[in-house]
C-alpha cells in the first residue's frame, strides 16, 4: 500500500487529503487492480490551523505576565502533561517541564500541591 497526504487546489480552494492506494497482484506479480481510499482532511487541517493561531495568540498574551503560568493537557493515558509554560515559568524552571507530568520535574511537596489541585478539575 501507498499512503500519502496531498494538498491541491480544487475550484480555487486549497484542499488537503490522505490517499491510500492498495494494489492487487496476479500470480505473476502484475498489478491487476488498485483500491484508492481518499479521505478529505481539509476541515481537520483548518481546525489545526485555528488551534495553532489561538496558541500563538495565547503565548503572546501570557508571556507578558510575570506570574508563572503553565498549561496542562490530558494525554492518551489520562495524565496531565505540561504543554506550555510562559516566559516566567521558563525563567524559573527552564524547558524541562514541557511534555512532562508535573511530578516528573517538581519537588515532591510542589507535586503534591499540583496533584491536589488537578483532582478538583
Rounded CA separation 47/49 (Å): 5
pLDDT at 12: 92
Element (H, E) at 81: strand 80-85
pLDDT at 54: 92
User: What residue numbers bound the domain in which 6 lies?
Assistant: 2-45
| 73-97 pLDDT, tens digit each | 888 888 888 888 899 988 987 776 7
Residue 50 lies in a domain: no
How many structural domains is the chain composed of?
2
pTM of this prediction exceeds 0.95: no
Q: Quick one: how far is CA 49 from the chain centroid? A: 11
Q: Which three cell numbers stand for residue 22?
A: 492498495
Q: Are residues 31 and 75 in the same domain?
A: no
User: Does residue 70 sit within a domain?
Assistant: yes
3-state secondary structure of 31: strand
Q: Are residues 70 and 110 in the same domain?
A: yes
Residue 67 and residue 109 share a domain:
yes
Amino acid at each position: 500500500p501507498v499512503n500519502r497526504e496531498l494538498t491541491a487546489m480544487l475550484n480555487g480552494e486549497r484542499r488537503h487529503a490522505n490517499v491510500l492506494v492498495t494494489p492487487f497482484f496476479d500470480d505473476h506479480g502484475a498489478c491487476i487492480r488498485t483500491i484508492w481510499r481518499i479521505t478529505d482532511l481539509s476541515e481537520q487541517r483548518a481546525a489545526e490551523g485555528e488551534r495553532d493561531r489561538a496558541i500563538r495568540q495565547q503565548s503572546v498574551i501570557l508571556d507578558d505576565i510575570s506570574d508563572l503560568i503553565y498549561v496542562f493537557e490530558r494525554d492518551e493515558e489520562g495524565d496531565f502533561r505540561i504543554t506550555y509554560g510562559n516566559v516566567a515559568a521558563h525563567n524559573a524552571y527552564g524547558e524541562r517541564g514541557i511534555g512532562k507530568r508535573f511530578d516528573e520535574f517538581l519537588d515532591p511537596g510542589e507535586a503534591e500541591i499540583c496533584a491536589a489541585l488537578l483532582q478538583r478539575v
